[in-house]
Amino acid sequence: MPQLLKCPRPQSFNSNRAFRVTRHRSRITSFASHVTRHVLLLPIILLSTLSLHAQPKYEPNWPSLDTRPTPQWFSDAKFGIFVCWGLYSVPAWSPKGQYAEWYMYWMKQKSFDGQVYDFHQNKFGNGVEFKDFAPMFKAELWNPDEWANLFRRAGAKYIVFTTKHHSGFTLWPSAEAEKAWGENYNPVKMGPKRDLVGDLTTAVRKQGIRMGLYYSLYEWYHPWYLNDFHVFVTDHFHPQFKDLVTRYEPDIVWADGEWEQPSKEWRTPELLAWLFNETKNKEVVINDRWGNDSRHKHGGFFTTEYGSGLDNDAHPWEENRGMGYSYGYNRAENLDDYRSAKELILMLVDIVSRGGNLCLDIGPDAAGQIPVIMQERLVQIGNWLVINGEGIYGTRMCESPVQWSAGTKPEIKRGEYMLAYNILTETIDPAPGQAVKEVFFTRKGNAVYAITPKWPGKEIRIKNFDLRYGYQVSAIGYREESQGEKAARVTRHASRVTFLQTGESLKFKYDGKDLIIAMPAYKPDARWETAAYTFKVEVEGGK
């Protein structure tokens, strides 16, 4: 190679020799470029290798699994939609106030004085079993792209879809389900003749929405579950779960049906170690239903069901509920059984102000249609979020998430399951002498968002919002500083207040420690979104 670089100049032009020299020089240049490229790539390869090795290896026990942080995207999302759909959508009935998706169990157990059993006998006859609904579950009007578009219009950032409820019928082609219940016990073989989980997952992700999968650990009448639980876990539950996750790589795994056994018996820590260590989606999020010892103790987010959520953001959490009283579509319900759009929006605001997410359920019918009233509610929520979503998405809880009016504060219960939650009496329709939540607060970046459940009138008074004298919004998310901290910083102050509905800047002033914001003229003909009003208070100066 060196002698080529020192090749003597020819005395006269020789085309063959010139061609050979040029070719050799080209090879040298190509070789040098090749070496340089690989040398430059070497650090990237090394960093990638180190990054792979840097992924923590989780052990199959709760102390190890609990060290995994919940991916931030979940806490940023705030609003999701739960979709409860299956064979129970064929009868679509239960007594009011009960879950229609439990139809199989209510019928066999003759629950509620035999009401579901009697309904079944009258509607379908004595010889029809629950599994016979499979060919009736046709989904002939189902368009997954229309569903996904509706979810986008609603402002949802994630979906949770019931891939298998407690009956054992799966909405994807599960080999384990066929072994247990017969080769036709899934919608690819019967009814729709399509992979419902796969088709909806594709449609949802095309809209840029995260896809979560609900999965029931137990099955009411599975012969192995009833007779040999450990065989059920080893030969049915675990391989079926792994098949589901491997096929669709969900963003959320929403477990349920765990309450009859501890996590040790379900061997769910073993399954979750596999999920975190071996599967592709490293940002997968899990809930807390992995055994009767795990709720509100273990998991990426804690769940409450038809309750009011939790009090703080010490751990990510989600309130999960329907618009009516059932997850599955219940034809027994009417208009009065559904929450209004204003109620649902105020629930969302209240829950987000306390650091939680709201996952709101819908129950499609057997044809694949989402009931119009549910569609309307979703669009109404989405319309409000188009204007006010800045104060919802990606926000964090303030230390004091709400400002109460004068009066006696009502007792508010928190818990896992089925607790009274009347957001209207807490905000705009109180009992005589009862205090109400007059302002909710969230925060993001250098802004605090004040959200009022009704039009404030001429002004809003936010108590203890004094930034001039060394306070950091003590009433809505910051603490009062020490004297040393006050001396070490520049004074912070509210620099701008914006009404998100119109985008206009509002006048404000201080009255002692209170911030008073002057309201714009109310315009009843301006078609404002009136469920709640959001005011953005930007803060600047100081640290």
CA distance 489 to 123: 74
CATH 2.60.40.1180 occupies which residues in the chain?
A: 396-540
Where do runs of H (alpha helix) occur along 102-236? 103-109, 111-124, 144-154, 175-181, 196-206, 223-227, 229-231
Are 286 and 280 a contacting pair, CB within 8 Å? no
CA distance 450 to 439: 6
Specify the residue for token string 């230390």: 399
- Provide the pLDDT for residue 66: 98
Specify the residue for token string 């009960």: 98
- Provide the pLDDT for residue 13: 35
Nearest to 137 by CA among 174, 100, 191: 191
Are 421 and 308 a contacting pair, CB within 8 Å? yes
pTM, whole model, 2 decimals?
A: 0.87
Q: What is the pLDDT along the chain (543 residues), one digit of tens a residue?
A: 333 323 323 333 343 444 343 444 444 444 444 444 444 444 444 444 444 446 789 999 999 999 999 999 999 999 999 999 999 999 999 999 999 999 999 999 999 999 999 999 999 999 999 999 999 999 999 999 999 999 999 999 999 999 999 999 999 999 999 998 887 788 999 999 999 999 999 999 999 999 999 999 999 999 999 999 999 999 999 999 999 999 999 999 999 999 999 999 999 999 999 999 999 999 999 999 999 999 999 999 999 999 999 999 999 999 999 999 999 999 999 999 999 999 999 999 999 999 999 999 999 999 999 999 999 999 999 999 999 999 999 999 998 899 999 999 988 888 888 888 999 999 999 999 999 999 999 999 999 999 999 999 999 999 988 544 333 333 333 334 455 544 444 455 788 999 999 999 999 998 988 999 999 987 766 778 889 999 999 987 644
- Provide the pLDDT for residue 492: 56
- Provide the pLDDT for residue 512: 87
Domain 62-388, CATH class in plain words? alpha beta
Are 213 and 252 a contacting pair, CB within 8 Å? yes
CA distance 388 to 499: 10
The count of other CB atoms within 10 Å of the CB of residue 487 is 9
Fold exhibited by the domain 396-540: Immunoglobulin-like (2.60.40)
- Those residues whose C-beta lies under 8 Å from the C-beta of residue 37, and which sit 6 or more positions away, are none
Nearest to 104 by CA among 137, 131, 134: 131
For CA atoms 170, 173, 174, 180, give the dihedral sign: positive
Are 418 and 307 a contacting pair, CB within 8 Å? yes
- Provide the pLDDT for residue 466: 54
Look up residue 161 and give its amino acid.
F
CA distance 305 to 298: 17
Q: E strand or H helix at 218, and its extent?
A: none
Are 313 and 396 a contacting pair, CB within 8 Å? yes
- Those residues whose C-beta lies under 8 Å from the C-beta of residue 347, and which sit 6 or more positions away, are 319, 339, 358, 421, 423
CATH 3.20.20.80 occupies which residues in the chain?
A: 62-388
N- to C-terminal Cα distance for the chain?
62
Are 313 and 355 a contacting pair, CB within 8 Å? yes
